[in-house]
Amino acid sequence: MLSQADNELLTRTGPGTPMGNLMRRYWIPTLFSHQLAEPDCPPVRVRLLGEDLVAFRDTEGRVGLLHQHCPHRGASLFFGRNEECGLRCVYHGWKFDVNGNCVDMPNEPPESNFKHKIKATAYPCREAGGVVWTFMGPPELKPGLPQLEWTLVPGSHRFATRHLQECNWFQALEGGFDTSHIPFLHRGDAGAGPPSISRVPKVYETVPMDFGFVSGSGRALDNGHMYWTASVLLMPFHKIITRHGGPDAPIGAHAWVPIDDENCMNYSVEYHPDRPLRDDEMERSRNFFYIHTENIPGTDRPIQNKDNDYLIDRELQRSGQSFTGIKGIGMQDCGIQESMGAIGDRGIEHLGVSDTAIISLRRLLLRTLRDVEAGAQPPGMDGASYRVRSAAFTIPGSEVFADLVEDFVCIG
């Protein structure tokens, strides 16, 4: 159970909110680089942390991110002309570069210096891993880019998609660290998820790290050893998923980026650190059998969505081939998390031992909010600390998970 006040702190990310201020201390995925395919291509609408923005790639290939409304009369710059290293408002011709500088004001007298007094709100952008990242916080506090492993591998080693999730970002993040749902929600081969798992008692641990924390689920083996899986939270909304399919399988990753308080963008990535993805792995991903979704063409909204009950197949559910009747792991997660409401009421919950990671996640973020308000640095400001991956390993039952996990997840 969580108080209403704490629930508000964790879920609200708009300008001026404590969580919004924290989010703005990090580089934020904004859109895929291919969505701005070439210099001077059409601009793209973006909504992040409750702010309406416009992204564009200028003549020299640089990406700009401006507030949608022109500082002159408030017209939308989405309709602007992307030309000659700037985005020109079609209402009166005012033109802005990627830094928000007004570089042309053709409806003012030639001798006027008014353009030098006008600046559009602009956020700096950088590209890594096929994604455009932006920093929306104070310029003097801008950290280095997070060195997430999936952003550092060649494009052939990576497959990435994104989809709209119609619920609060924290709801989706919590779902990613709710480990005990896996043998239920994802049971059955219809979603191409892990096989049915018997209800074996588990041990749950979380270990704080410079970048966030590691969440471990342990199972006792007959030989007295413990088998552990370790997933990684990288502040503020990144997850590295434990490999399914053996040590050479691709690694999964998510980022649940707040669009506003009732919607988030779920970036889903599969990558291999050492080799290109094989044809069969790409085929599986493109057929939406794992964490990816099939979207309505031209949009980020999944074809399976709340308006059509995620195309739930009750016959499939009754047959036992699928525990939910919803096809695809990504949609199973998305559908159930959205079913809690746009912003879930955590005051009605009753958490158990299997919710250890969720409890730790809430405590970490609430503590971070307090610390940052008091002037402390948030976790993850050193981009190199993000060079970690998930892990699965076996250790003697006498060994302590917290003492050894760093050796398995850190990649240097």
Query: In this predicted structure, what is the pLDDT of residue 197?
Result: 45
Nearest CA to 322 out of 187, 225, 160 is that of 187
Query: In this predicted structure, what is the pLDDT of residue 361?
Result: 93
Could you read off the pLDDT of 26-62 as tens digits, one per residue? 999 999 999 999 999 999 999 999 999 999 999 999 9
From CA 123, how far away is CA 53, in angstroms rounded? 10
Query: In this predicted structure, what is the pLDDT of residue 233?
Result: 96
Query: In this predicted structure, what is the pLDDT of residue 288?
Result: 65
Task: Between 44 and 194, name the one with better pLDDT.
Answer: 44
pLDDT band at 284 (very low <50, low <70, confident <90, very high): confident
From CA 188, how far away is CA 85, in angstroms rounded? 53
Residue 189 has pLDDT above 70, yes or no: no
Q: How far is CA 7 from the centre of its chain?
A: 20
Query: In this predicted structure, what is the pLDDT of residue 412?
Result: 65
Q: What is the CA radius of gyration of the chain?
A: 23
This prediction has a pTM of 0.93
Query: In this predicted structure, what is the pLDDT of residue 97?
Result: 98
Could you read off the pLDDT of 65-95 as tens digits, one per residue? 999 999 999 999 999 999 999 999 999 999 9
Could you read off the pLDDT of 198-237 as tens digits, one per residue? 445 588 999 999 999 999 999 999 999 999 999 999 999 9
Q: What is the CATH number of domain 149-409?
A: 3.90.380.10
CATH architecture label of 27-141: 3-layer Sandwich (2.102)
Angle between helices 4-11 and 356-373 (to 10 degrees): 80
Stretch 110-129: mean pLDDT: 96
What number of residues does the chain have? Answer: 412
From CA 125, how far away is CA 132, in angstroms rounded? 6
Residue 259 has pLDDT above 80, yes or no: yes
Could you tell me where in the chain the CATH 3.90.380.10 domains are found? 149-409
